[in-house]
C-alpha cells in the first residue's frame, strides 16, 4: 500500500516525474529506469527500503526510504535542490 513520503521529492534532469510524493510513485520511478541502472547499489537499496516502508508503514521506515531515494537521485545529479535566498 503506498504511503506519502515525509516530503515530496523534486527531480531535475531525468525523465522521472518532476514531483514524487508517495512510496508507490518512487517505486514506479525506479522501475522505469533501465535494468543496468536499477542494479546500481544506491537504486537497489532505495527500492528495497521503499518496499519495506510500504509493508510496515512506520514513520522510521518511511524516513529511511525517503532518505535512500533522495540519496540515489543525488548520486545521479537528479535531485532538485532549491537555491536558498
pLDDT at 82: 77
Q: How confident is the model at residue 13 (pLDDT cuts 50, 70, 90)?
A: very high
Beta-carbon contacts of residue 84 (< 8 Å; ≥ 6 apart): none
pLDDT at 1: 86
Angle, nearest 10°, between helix axes 41-56 and 23-31?
150
Mean pLDDT over 21-48 rounds to: 97
Judged against a pLDDT cut of 80, whether residue 5 lies above it is answered with yes
Judged against a pLDDT cut of 80, whether residue 84 lies above it is answered with no
Domain borders along the chain are 4-75
CA distance 67 to 64: 5
Mean pLDDT over 35-51 rounds to: 97
Amino acid at each position: 500500500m503506498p504511503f506519502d513520503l515525509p516530503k515530496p521529492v523534486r527531480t531535475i534532469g531525468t525523465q522521472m516525474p518532476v514531483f514524487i510524493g508517495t512510496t508507490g510513485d518512487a517505486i514506479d520511478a525506479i522501475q522505469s529506469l533501465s535494468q543496468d541502472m536499477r542494479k546500481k547499489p544506491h537504486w537497489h537499496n532505495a527500492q528495497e527500503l521503499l518496499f519495506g516502508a510500504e509493508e510496515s508503514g512506520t514513520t522510521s521506515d518511511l524516513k529511511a526510504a525517503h532518505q535512500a531515494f533522495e540519496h540515489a537521485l543525488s548520486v545521479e545529479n537528479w535531485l532538485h535542490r532549491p537555491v536558498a535566498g
